[in-house]
């Protein structure tokens, strides 16, 4: 991945996008859809180029843009490395636990006690 100029994840839906995060960790700029869990990690124009799921033309335009623009590749790649290094398993576990706790509290407050 580190030898590539661009990493493209052409999926229409990704629960998390681990492959994109792995590419980001190497500094390779990422092009992927803005579906599923991707937008929780990647922001269009900041650490990746995002496109609407299934929009092949937009995906191709993003790829071409990165191939032609070395400054954009470097900026996105540098930002992607920082993003990837900021996401640890401990951080992921904390985020998951927070979601579970919020869901539990929400459901517990809706229960009718008899």
So what's the pLDDT on residue 26? Answer: 95
Per-residue pLDDT tens for 32-78? 999 988 998 999 999 999 999 999 999 999 999 999 999 999 999 99
Q: 3-class SS at 7?
A: strand
CA atoms within 13 A on the CB side of 15: 0
Span 21-27, average pLDDT = 94
Reply yes or no on whether the pLDDT at 84 is more than 70.
yes
Q: How confident is the model at residue 114 (pLDDT cuts 50, 70, 90)?
A: low
C-alpha distances (whole Å) from 34 to each of 6, 17, 20, 105 are 17, 11, 12, 29
Mean pLDDT of 14-27: 89
Banded pLDDT at 89 (limits 50, 70, 90): confident
User: 77: number of CA atoms within 13 Å, CB side?
Assistant: 19
Predicted TM-score (pTM) above 0.85: no
Cβ-contact 54, 12 below 8 angstroms: yes
Residue 113's pLDDT band, with cuts at 50, 70 and 90, is: low
Predicted pLDDT of residue 75: 97
**Domains of the chain, with CATH numbers?**
7-87 (3.40.50.2000)
Q: 11: which 2 tokens?
A: 């999926």
């Amino acid at each position: 991945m580190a030898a590539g100029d661009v990493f493209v994840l052409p999926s229409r839906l990704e629960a998390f996008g681990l492959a994109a995060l792995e590419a980001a960790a190497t500094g390779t700029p990422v092009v992927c859809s803005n579906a599923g869990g991707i937008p929780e990690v990647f922001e269009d124009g900041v650490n990746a180029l995002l496109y609407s799921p299934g929009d092949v033309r937009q995906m191709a335009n993003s790829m071409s843009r990165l191939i032609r623009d070395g400054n954009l590749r470097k900026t996105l790649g540098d930002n992607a490395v920082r993003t990837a290094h900021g996401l640890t398993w401990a951080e992921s576990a904390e985020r998951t636990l927070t979601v579970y706790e919020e869901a539990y509290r929400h459901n517990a407050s809706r229960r009718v006690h008899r």
